[in-house]
């Protein structure tokens, strides 16, 4: 069986459209009815019939009996937790599975009237464009123009037509006039838009985007979403988008398809899915924050399912109607006390980080940090937010000595970073970077954890004890002797954190701990960080996820152009709409809701759904943070 | 030799890459037909003028030559002692200055030393000429040249992607170094074993990341039709302009007169 598949695979690559007709045995199942497919083709851009796929060397199939049709001109969003099979499905659509990636594929994939199994990937690229997650590896050319022209050149499109098509494609992704720019100098968002242009230039009728924003910052994401809106207006284009961000999906999608463990478990209009919180929890999809308040009302049987709000205006209206009927809101005396108490707590504590007049220049004349002054007390949970290039990471890298001040000083846990090198500071200050793959190099999880301890000079028994402890703490015990790269991204991220935790840092800096994770992964990671914070570790988190920042951090520092713009409790920071706009930060949805309800809340800001619902609790329960 | 390209708009920048390559070839031929150091000095001056025109500073050339001085001295000594008098046509060059070993063995000839000087000058002129070439020619132009020379698409493709990914990989390297430093790695261990060991945490993630990137790059290339045909549309129209023709004419004139001087008049030999 394996052999015949390989032969089939080679045939597929070497021959073009329909030259080889696979027999039933080669196909690995009964041949689908061609006639039925032909009849449906004019309306359907994508037609999957009972598709199953198993990666080579894996036991469990990644797709199970997926049958799916997408009509021409529709915008479909594919959702689901990590490992649900979303990427696998997108790779099936243009033939990368099974032509590049081997494994066992059964069922029929029909795209734009072409049987994908029998058409070469290169020929498919004229009818279906696939954009992958990482913009970096999709760019082939040195200049924007050279890169965009790559596709049509392979199809031997004449020179003058290429010129014209390149300009058209670049205009569609808002990169008009970028022709001569070097690709390496583009921002993440620009790179990803260039990748989109690179497939659009081949004029496909279908565009598939596999988490195109997962590697981008909020601005880059916004750019992609705007581009998608532009493309949507062109009704001829069928779009399939794999996406995690619920708020974006609801605005765009005609239809949502949810995959869970390789199976299509739900499909329908997005609003229906996002009102059903139980379903979202089951599928591991992040709910829209305001819908959680609505869900509370629904559970109390005050409203129907269809009345659950999905955006701020409808939530405002709902709360205003329901509050007189069911509310128990008596103002916010306790809240003030609560905040006051916290301030008191801070002043009693020792100082973890002291930054004095810090200026940092990557090259003379170009200041990345311009005069930072701040103090972080032991036991605080601080979040740094701001655009890419605002100086968040540059500032954080000063805390473990990776960068040394050009001017001013940084004192961490009593040590001036000018006097100690990073390897010494690493025993006290832990720094977890965004991409775990930049540090994992051992053959087992256990060895990976031991590495930092050996560097710090620990020996035999102590190493074993600490590793055991951290493996238990992080839930990685069952992966102890597994090769880290055989695990998923979420687990690898956890290994990266664990490999720092073994050093028992007093101060933990976490740079984007949740990028690219699904909702379940985010919850696990944040649960761990909260546990560490509760145990007394000072936490500094750099994040673009404002919902997380509002929910977990006790202090938020907003950076812009190397300066501190705002510094305070999340409630206070996120209500400064104007200043945040200036720093291109969108406050979390619930803070936006609080601002709209400011007359009721008497200038109190709520950042958790439970605080809103507490207004409706009959017995006195303080809305705790 | 420096490989950095300095963008500019001089005549040399605007010349067709082929013309520049022919010129470079012509210069090689020119310097190889003459043995007399005086003629070589003329060629060195010629390339030096080119360099001066391109505003390549003398210090830069000096810095390129400096590490070669031991080699230059070795060359002159070797040629001085190993070139037998019979190899030279002119009597003055056959003269033996002195013998190193007793019994009239291993004599140093005048011609030998002159030959060594010629070799040195050749080296220097080649170095300057190739610097001028790389400084005035973009990588795109070189790749286009390969395409015109019918170098297979795969090879030019490999070259372009390699060049394209240098900055990307360098960024990766930086990130990996930082991530490992944060775990207490010191990258400056003493001794060969120590330094290899300390670089494993850098090299392994580097390999893994490169493989991962290569994987998705191959997908991205297939997504865009790479490999459908053996060739691809050339993105540059051939621009063989008047100045290119002039330059070619100049090269031909120079070479012809050089050949005349060398083979008709029998000048420039030792």
B218-235 burial code (b ≥16 CB/10 A, e <16) = ebbbbbbbbbbeeebbeb
* Contact criterion met (CB below 8 Å) for A123 and A133: no
Q: What sign results for the dihedral spanned by CA atoms A439, A441, A446, A447? A: negative
Q: Does A438 touch chain B (CB under 8 A)?
A: yes
* Minimal-distance CA residue of chain A relative to B204: A441
* Contact criterion met (CB below 8 Å) for B270 and B88: yes
Q: Does B229 touch chain A (CB under 8 A)?
A: yes
B183–A499 CB contact, under 8 Å: yes
Residues A384-439: pLDDT tens digits? 999 888 899 999 999 999 999 999 999 999 999 999 999 999 999 999 998 999 99
- Nearest residue to B97 (alpha-carbon basis) of B83, A608, A274: B83
What is the model's pLDDT at position B151? 83
How far off is chain A from B129, nearest CA to CA, in Å? Answer: 26
Residue B110 has pLDDT above 50, yes or no: yes
* Contact criterion met (CB below 8 Å) for A238 and A74: yes
Computed on alpha carbons and rounded to an integer, the radius of gyration of chain B in Å comes to: 25
* Contact criterion met (CB below 8 Å) for A191 and A221: no
B224–A423 CB contact, under 8 Å: no
A439–B201 CB contact, under 8 Å: yes
Q: A126, A441, A470, A503: best mutation site toward chain B, by most B Cβ within 10 Å? A: A441
How far off is chain B from A157, nearest CA to CA, in Å? Answer: 7
* Contact criterion met (CB below 8 Å) for A378 and A352: yes
Q: How far apart, in Å, do the first and last CA atoms of chain B sit?
A: 30
Residues of chain B with C-beta less than 8 angstroms from the C-beta of A440: 205, 208
* Contact criterion met (CB below 8 Å) for B164 and A147: no
* Contact criterion met (CB below 8 Å) for A159 and B256: no
* Contact criterion met (CB below 8 Å) for A109 and A84: no
Cα separation, A561 vs A566, whole angstroms: 13
A268-294 burial code (b ≥16 CB/10 A, e <16) = eebbebbbbbebbeebbbbbbbbbbbb
The minimal CB distance from A125 to the residues B224, B231, B234 is found for B224
The minimal CB distance from A132 to the residues B220, B234, B237 is found for B220
* Contact criterion met (CB below 8 Å) for A111 and A93: yes
Q: A438, A483, A503: best mutation site toward chain B, by most B Cβ within 10 Å? A: A438
Q: What sign results for the dihedral spanned by CA atoms A62, A68, A73, A77? A: negative
* Minimal-distance CA residue of chain A relative to B214: A137
B32-47 burial code (b ≥16 CB/10 A, e <16) = ebbbbbebbbbbbebb
Place of tokens 């060049």: B163
In 10 A of CB A322, how many CB atoms?
17
Residue bearing the bigger pLDDT, B162 or A240 = A240
* Contact criterion met (CB below 8 Å) for A467 and A447: no
Tokens of B176: 């990996």
Residues of chain B with C-beta less than 8 angstroms from the C-beta of A427: 184
Provide φ and ψ at A62, rounded to 5°.
-90, -25
For chain B, give the percent of residues with pLDDT over 70. Answer: 95
Tokens of A422: 């990073």
* Assigned architecture for domain A2-127+204-281: 3-Layer(aba) Sandwich (3.40)
Residue B39 has pLDDT above 50, yes or no: yes
Residues of chain A with C-beta less than 8 angstroms from the C-beta of B160: 140-142
What is the model's pLDDT at position A329? 67
* Contact criterion met (CB below 8 Å) for B270 and B36: yes
Q: Does B221 touch chain A (CB under 8 A)?
A: yes
Tokens of A112: 């734009």
What is the model's pLDDT at position A466? 94
Q: What sign results for the dihedral spanned by CA atoms A578, A584, A588, A592? A: positive
Interface confidence (ipTM) of the complex: 0.83
Average pLDDT, chain B: 85
What is the model's pLDDT at position B87? 81
Q: How far is CA A207 from CA A145, A151, B133, in A?
A: 21, 15, 44
Q: B162, B172, B223: best mutation site toward chain A, by most A Cβ within 10 Å? A: B223
Cα separation, A146 vs B144, whole angstroms: 12
Residues of chain A with C-beta less than 8 angstroms from the C-beta of B220: 132, 137-140, 195
Q: Does B176 touch chain A (CB under 8 A)?
A: yes
> Beta partners for A106?
A52
Residues B226-262: pLDDT tens digits? 988 877 787 766 667 888 899 999 999 999 999 999 9
Query: For A387-455, what is the HEC assignment?
Result: CCCCCHHHHHHHHCCCCCCCEEEEEECCEECCCCCHHHHCCCEEEECCCHHHCCCCCCHHHHHHHHHHH
Residues A22-75: pLDDT tens digits? 444 444 444 444 434 444 445 789 999 999 999 988 888 999 999 999 998 899
Query: For A177-236, what is the HEC assignment?
Result: CCCCCEHHHCCHHHHHHHHHHHHHCCCCCEEEEECCCCCCCHHHHHHHHHHHHHHHHCCC
Q: Does B201 touch chain A (CB under 8 A)?
A: yes
Torsion of CA A301, A305, A306, A308, to 10 degrees: 80
Residue B65 has pLDDT above 70, yes or no: yes
Q: What's the angle, vertex CA A369, arms to CA A368 and CA A370, rounded to 5? A: 120
Q: Which helix (H) or strand (E) holds A558?
A: strand A555-560
Cβ-Cβ pairs closer than 8 A, A with B, add up to: 170
* Contact criterion met (CB below 8 Å) for A111 and A273: no
* Maximum distance among all Cα pairs of chain A, rounded to whole angstroms: 79
pLDDT confidence band for B60 (50 / 70 / 90): confident
In 10 A of CB A114, how many CB atoms?
20
Burial of A337 (0-12, 13-18, 19+ CB in 10 A): exposed
Residues of chain B with C-beta less than 8 angstroms from the C-beta of A129: 223
B 46-65 residues with CB below 8 A of A?
none
- Nearest residue to A217 (alpha-carbon basis) of A574, A497, A542: A542
How far off is chain A from B201, nearest CA to CA, in Å? Answer: 6
Cα separation, B223 vs A128, whole angstroms: 9
Angle, helices B17-33 vs B242-259, to 10°: value is 10
Tokens of A37: 């497919």
The minimal CB distance from A155 to the residues B186, B220, B228 is found for B228
Q: Does A420 touch chain B (CB under 8 A)?
A: no
Q: Which helix (H) or strand (E) holds A240?
A: strand A238-242
Q: Does A192 touch chain B (CB under 8 A)?
A: no
The minimal CB distance from B185 to the residues A123, A423, A438 is found for A423
DSSP letter for B74, please: H
Cβ neighbors of A96 (< 8 A, separation 6 or more) are A121, A130, B219, B222, B223
A452–B183 CB contact, under 8 Å: yes
Q: What is the strand order of the sheet A238-242 is part of? A: A128-131, A206-210, A238-242, A75-79, A255-260, A263-268
Computed on alpha carbons and rounded to an integer, the radius of gyration of chain A in Å comes to: 27
* Contact criterion met (CB below 8 Å) for B84 and B110: no
Q: Please state the separation of Cα A523 from the chain's center in Å.
A: 13
What ranges do the domains of chain A cover?
A: 2-127+204-281, 282-326, 429-504
Cα separation, B182 vs B191, whole angstroms: 23
Cβ neighbors of B152 (< 8 A, separation 6 or more) are none
Place of tokens 């709409």: A577
* Contact criterion met (CB below 8 Å) for B139 and A142: yes
Q: How far is CA B144 from CA A61, B134, B139, B159, in A?
A: 46, 14, 8, 11
- Nearest residue to A585 (alpha-carbon basis) of A566, A598, A604: A566
Cα separation, B188 vs A266, whole angstroms: 55
Residue B157 has pLDDT above 90, yes or no: no
Q: What sign results for the dihedral spanned by CA atoms B222, B223, B228, B232? A: negative
Residue A621 CB-half CA count within 13 A: 13
What is the model's pLDDT at position B142? 83
What is the model's pLDDT at position A326? 84
How far off is chain A from B135, nearest CA to CA, in Å? Answer: 18
* Minimal-distance CA residue of chain A relative to B236: A159
Residues A585-595: pLDDT tens digits? 888 999 989 98
- Nearest residue to A188 (alpha-carbon basis) of A157, A213, A220: A220
How far off is chain B from A265, nearest CA to CA, in Å? Answer: 28
Q: Please state the separation of Cα A279 from the chain's center in Å.
A: 21
B205–A440 CB contact, under 8 Å: yes
The stretches in chain A having pLDDT less than 50 are 1-41, 333-344, 620-625
Helix/strand/coil for A565: strand
* Contact criterion met (CB below 8 Å) for A227 and A173: yes
Cα separation, A43 vs A389, whole angstroms: 46
């Amino acid at each position: 069986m394996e052999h015949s598949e390989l032969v089939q695979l080679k045939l597929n690559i070497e021959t073009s459209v329909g030259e080889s007709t696979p027999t039933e045995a080669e196909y690995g199942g009964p041949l689908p009815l061609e006639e039925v497919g032909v009849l449906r083709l004019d309306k359907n851009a994508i037609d999957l019939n009972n598709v199953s796929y198993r990666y080579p060397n894996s036991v469990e199939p990644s797709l199970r009996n997926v049958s799916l049709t997408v009509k021409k001109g529709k915008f479909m969003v594919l959702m689901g937790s990590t490992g649900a099979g979303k990427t696998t499905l997108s790779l099936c659509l243009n033939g990368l599975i099974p032509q590049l990636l081997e494994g066992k594929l059964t069922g029929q994939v029909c795209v734009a009237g072409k049987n994908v199994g029998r058409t070469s990937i290169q020929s498919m690229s004229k009818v279906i464009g696939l954009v992958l997650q990482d913009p970096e590896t999709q760019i082939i050319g040195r200049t924007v123009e050279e890169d965009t022209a790559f596709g049509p050149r392979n199809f031997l499109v004449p020179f003058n037509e290429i010129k014209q098509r390149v300009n058209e494609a670049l205009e569609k992704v808002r990169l008009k006039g970028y022709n001569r720019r070097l690709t390496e100098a583009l921002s993440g968002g620009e790179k990803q838009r260039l990748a989109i242009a690179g497939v659009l230039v081949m004029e496909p009728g279908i565009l598939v985007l596999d988490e195109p924003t997962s590697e981008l910052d909020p601005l880059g994401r916004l750019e992609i979403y705007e581009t998608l809106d532009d493309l949507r207006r062109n009704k001829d284009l069928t779009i399939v988008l794999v996406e995690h961000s619920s708020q974006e999906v609801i605005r765009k999608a005609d239809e949502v398809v949810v995959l869970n463990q390789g199976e299509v478990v739900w499909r329908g209009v997005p609003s229906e899915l996002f009102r059903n919180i139980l379903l979202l929890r089951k599928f591991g999809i992040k709910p829209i924050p305001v819908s959680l308040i609505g869900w509370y009302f629904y559970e109390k049987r005050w409203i129907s399912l269809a009345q659950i709000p999905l955006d701020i205006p409808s939530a405002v209206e709902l709360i205003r109607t329901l509050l007189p009927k069911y509310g128990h809101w008596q103002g916010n005396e306790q809240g003030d006390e609560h905040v006051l108490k916290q301030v008191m707590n801070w002043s009693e504590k020792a100082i973890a980080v002291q930054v004095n007049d810090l200026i940092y220049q990557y090259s003379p004349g170009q200041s990345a940090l311009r005069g930072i002054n701040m103090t972080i007390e032991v036991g605080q949970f601080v979040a740094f937010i701001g655009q890419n290039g605002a100086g968040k990471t540059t500032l954080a890298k000063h805390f473990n000595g990776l960068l040394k001040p050009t001017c001013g000083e940084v004192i961490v846990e009593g040590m001036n970073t000018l006097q100690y090198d990073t390897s010494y500071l690493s025993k006290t200050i832990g720094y977890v970077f965004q991409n775990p793959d930049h540090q994992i190099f051992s053959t087992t999880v256990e060895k990976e954890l031991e590495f930092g301890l050996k560097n710090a000079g620990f020996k035999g028994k102590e190493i074993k004890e600490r590793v055991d402890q951290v493996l238990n703490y992080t839930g990685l015990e069952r992966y102890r002797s597994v090769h880290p790269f055989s695990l998923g991204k979420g687990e690898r991220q956890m290994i990266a954190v664990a490999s720092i935790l073994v050093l028992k840092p007093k101060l933990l800096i976490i740079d984007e701990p949740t990028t690219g994770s699904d909702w379940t992964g985010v919850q696990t990671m944040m649960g761990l960080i909260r546990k560490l914070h509760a145990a007394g570790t000072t936490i500094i988190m750099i994040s673009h996820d404002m919902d997380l920042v509002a929910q977990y951090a006790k202090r938020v520092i907003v950076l812009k152009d190397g300066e501190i713009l705002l510094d305070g409790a999340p409630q206070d920071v996120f209500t400064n709409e104007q200043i945040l706009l200036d720093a291109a930060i969108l406050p979390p949805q619930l803070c936006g809701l609080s601002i709209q309800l400011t007359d009721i809340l008497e200038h109190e800001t709520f950042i958790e759904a439970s605080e809103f619902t507490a207004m409706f609790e009959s017995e006195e329960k303080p809305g705790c943070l | 030799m420096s490989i950095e390209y300095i963008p500019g708009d001089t005549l040399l920048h605007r010349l067709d890459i082929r013309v520049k390559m022919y010129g470079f070839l012509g210069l090689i031929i020119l310097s190889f037909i003459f043995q007399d150091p005086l003629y070589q000095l003329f060629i060195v001056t010629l390339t030096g003028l080119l360099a001066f025109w391109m505003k390549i500073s003398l210090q830069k050339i000096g810095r390129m030559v400096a590490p070669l001085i031991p080699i230059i001295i070795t060359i002159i000594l070797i040629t001085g002692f190993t070139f037998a008098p019979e190899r030279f046509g002119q009597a003055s060059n056959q003269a033996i200055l002195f013998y190193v070993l007793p019994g009239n063995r291993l004599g140093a000839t005048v011609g030998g030393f002159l030959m060594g000087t010629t070799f040195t000058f050749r080296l220097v002129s080649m170095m300057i000429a190739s610097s001028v070439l790389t400084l005035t020619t973009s990588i795109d132009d070189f790749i286009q040249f390969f395409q015109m020379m019918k170098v297979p698409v795969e090879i030019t493709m490999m070259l372009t992607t390699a060049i394209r990914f240098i900055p990307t990989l360098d960024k990766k390297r930086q990130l990996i170094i930082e991530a490992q430093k944060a775990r207490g790695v010191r990258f400056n261990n003493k001794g060969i074993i120590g330094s290899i060991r300390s670089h494993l945490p850098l090299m392994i993630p580097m390999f893994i990341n490169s493989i991962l990137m290569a994987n998705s790059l191959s997908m991205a290339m297939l997504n865009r039709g790479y490999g459908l045909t053996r060739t691809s549309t050339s993105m540059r129209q051939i621009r063989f302009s008047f100045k290119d023709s002039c330059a070619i004419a100049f090269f031909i004139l120079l070479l012809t007169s050089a050949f005349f001087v060398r083979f008709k008049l029998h000048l420039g030999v030792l």
